[in-house]
Amino acid sequence: MPARTPSRPHPATTGGVDIRLPWWALALPALAFIALLALILNPSDAHAASGDPAITHLFERAQRLLAR
């Protein structure tokens, strides 16, 4: 006895996909882009972080140990 295949209740629609994004999905990347663009245009605002001397010495010792 062959098994019956279930039929689709509604035919598939041929229209486009309806995707709605929340407002922040567009606002956050735009804000990040503007912030990075502002840093590029005015690099005097971008300051390098000063390292702690103890951490620097620790990395130097680790580098010396690995170089042996």
pLDDT tier for residue 50 given thresholds of 50, 70 and 90: low
Rounded to whole angstroms, how far apart are CA atoms 42 and 36?
10
Rounded to whole angstroms, how far apart are CA atoms 31 and 13?
37
Give the mean model confidence (pLDDT) for residues 48-52.
63
> Could you tell me the pTM of the whole model?
0.39
Rounded to whole angstroms, how far apart are CA atoms 9 and 7?
6
Rounded to whole angstroms, how far apart are CA atoms 53 and 61?
12
CB atoms near residue 33 (< 10 Å): 10
Give the mean model confidence (pLDDT) for residues 5-31.
78
**Residue 31 clears pLDDT 90, i.e. is over it:** yes
